Structure 1
């Protein structure tokens, strides 16, 4: 894994806080940034998963430092504690990767108030509070980069996903708003909008029949699902010096799904 990523300028030695880092796209991003020589603070609710990742990375990437924080992005206090832990451990914070999130695939007439609030709390509000807490530290350091993993459903829409679409569209708009507001502090803010990616979250939806893989492949112009590593490569580019003039952008990485009007 350590050799699977192209080298991107300006990432070696950076301090990266990565939420949802124990699995899926978050884990792929952790590998990607570790391969660039970045030091990591990994946040997730899965304490066992984080411990396993830390042990793996200490062997795979001996030149970097990896620390972990167990907590929920639903809790603004925990978010602040994670940011403060990163600053205490490394002295600053350069990059925030907002990967923690949940799916909500259910007929809208059956969505409960608790399910709606939980989706918005995690996918949108949690992302905002992570951005806010990280930016307060980045301003002290003269700038930084914030990425949020939104979704193609943040720029398009679908039946049975009202809460998810609303939350992810909010994340896209949030990133644009923060990009404009925080540009004066040299903080770049962008969203990544994946299509269907081979993650455990998508596998769970496939297993319970909420999605059909063959239909997804046929609907996607490139004829396949994406990989977490492809999303991680996008994050590397947007965080690197190659994208120094890119902010307020929602980069769709969906194999052509949203471009396909049929």
Structure 2
């Protein structure tokens, strides 16, 4: 296994089993890589088999395994968690990262679009969290981290489906933290601001996203790097955060503090 590449070694992660959904690209891939670098066994779930194969190839020096599954399908989720248990043992950390965006006038949203957004951004998190908790309660605890968004704590025109589902993630995080605390399970959420992923760069090249404007509106003057999101995830999953649960932690360069100007 490669030498750990993070300057910080986070206590309580090495040797643990970590499941990441939406793991093949963007923030999900950086999360998978970061946990693998810390010595965790990482079980990467993604809908896209080809992208998953590429991700596994990139992380071949680490203890990782891939599993192609639709996380909105309860039977597929159950099978994925069973496969992880057979390979690595009970899950210690679940990172619910799978999600999609939907920016569209509310009068024009079709029911298939609405249902897909709700299923991927909200239902999948419940299904995966439920499966994780069933394993975690048998071993005395674990950590579940959800990807929310700055838009889970605010609202905007033409983002009804996205804001509503991400607000649901914030609420679900609190509900499950309150319910599962007695089982030793911590449940948290991360609310990223705009992050420099391959998707964002593609949208920038297509002139459908004005990155320069986003940077001007962000007090720290830039977008987040995926590695910075992963760094926060490592801290929240580690022993350093063992009294933290039920909260959503924004990592947005001051965007929300600036009133979403």
Return the TM-score normalized by structure 2.
0.95
Shift of 1:48: 1.6
Q: Pick from 237, 240, 248 the counterpart of residue 238 of structure 2.
A: 240
Equivalent residue runs for 1:1-262 within 5 Å: 3-4=5-6, 6-59=8-61, 61=62, 65-261=63-259, 262=261
SS of 1:68 mapped into structure 2: strand
Q: 1:145 & 1:105 partners in 2: Cα distance?
A: 31
Q: 1:50 & 1:12 partners in 2: Cα distance?
A: 23
Q: 1:231 & 1:21 partners in 2: Cα distance?
A: 14
Shift of 1:208: 4.4
Farther-moved stretch of structure 1 (167-176 vs 152-161): 152-161
Where does the alignment leave 5 or more consecutive residues of structure 1 unmatched? Answer: none
Residues 125 and 204 of structure 1: CA distance in aligned 2, closer, same or farther (over 3 Å):
farther
Shift of 1:214: 1.2
The answer to whether the 8 Å contact 1:5/1:233 transfers is no
Q: 2:55 & 2:198 partners in 1: Cα distance?
A: 16
Q: 1:139 & 1:216 partners in 2: Cα distance?
A: 42
CA RMSD of aligned residues (A): 1.4
Shift of 1:5: 5.1
Residues 254 and 157 of structure 1: CA distance in aligned 2, closer, same or farther (over 3 Å):
same
Give the number of aligned pairs. 258
Farther-moved stretch of structure 1 (203-212 vs 110-119): 203-212
Q: 1:145 & 1:52 partners in 2: Cα distance?
A: 27
Q: 1:114 & 1:209 partners in 2: Cα distance?
A: 27
Return the TM-score normalized by structure 1.
0.95
Q: 2:221 & 2:56 partners in 1: Cα distance?
A: 35
1:214-246 Cα deviation digits (max 9, x unpaired): 110111000000011000000000000000000
Q: 1:43 & 1:183 partners in 2: Cα distance?
A: 26
